[in-house]
Structure 1
């Protein structure tokens, strides 16, 4: 089993690591970079200096640290889907969420968003896509109505 590690070896490696720990700037390093420097350390025989500790740290770093991002997104989408907006399509909800996340860049202050040619171009493209979407929906509804009329005539 992976966790079948003798405690005395793990404690010895931990104590040795504490004595040799990198003192300079270790607080400013990412946790994976910090541990990598010790995982790559070799003893005088060119074998890993901390093999047991390396196994434990690798296992711990590979664990999921929760699903906070997914839950945060779910909570945000629940706030966007009020009873009045309960019939929003998935696509529209996605657009609302994208705009909301983009506004966070400007501290939820839309008046800070720079008005420039790129923004106008994106708005124009979005408008064209929306009109195309509406026309397609209208065409599909007309087709549906025509099929209903044809069925009624056949009966």
Structure 2
């Protein structure tokens, strides 16, 4: 239909009608496809890949189209012969590609597992260092209390001029200072190991 100017009317409507007419009016073709797939993929062929199923379907459709459903009626042309000759090499190439993809996937999974194991190991080591630091800190607090107690005893002993208590207090102070020095050294070493470990975690 055209308007008074000679231009076609309802351009979009005509496209819509053509699109609607291109749709199948039933689902017989789809159902037929399901039936053909069911006949191809039997119990003893359940491991067929999508590519194999598509190839079988394409071959069956080609026999229907070119040979009216009879294999011996399919015309033998050069293109068909060349395709048959190349089939083995293409299959071999596909198998190599599949094996390569499987190997790459396995390597990626193995690398991911190693990375996860490494991360878990580092986390475990970090937790051990944290626990060790907490223990050292508690011992440091106890040593500090022992030092305070020694100083208090020393002051009291000096005030009373009790030389026996002075000697005991000095021993207590000396032991506390020695303990504090050892604990501080261990805490510094703990901090160094913690820093080294955290650097590894960031890598």
Higher helix share: 2
> TM-score of the superposition, structure 1-length normalised?
0.49
When the two structures are superposed, what TM-score results if normalisation uses the length of structure 2?
0.39
Larger Rg: 2
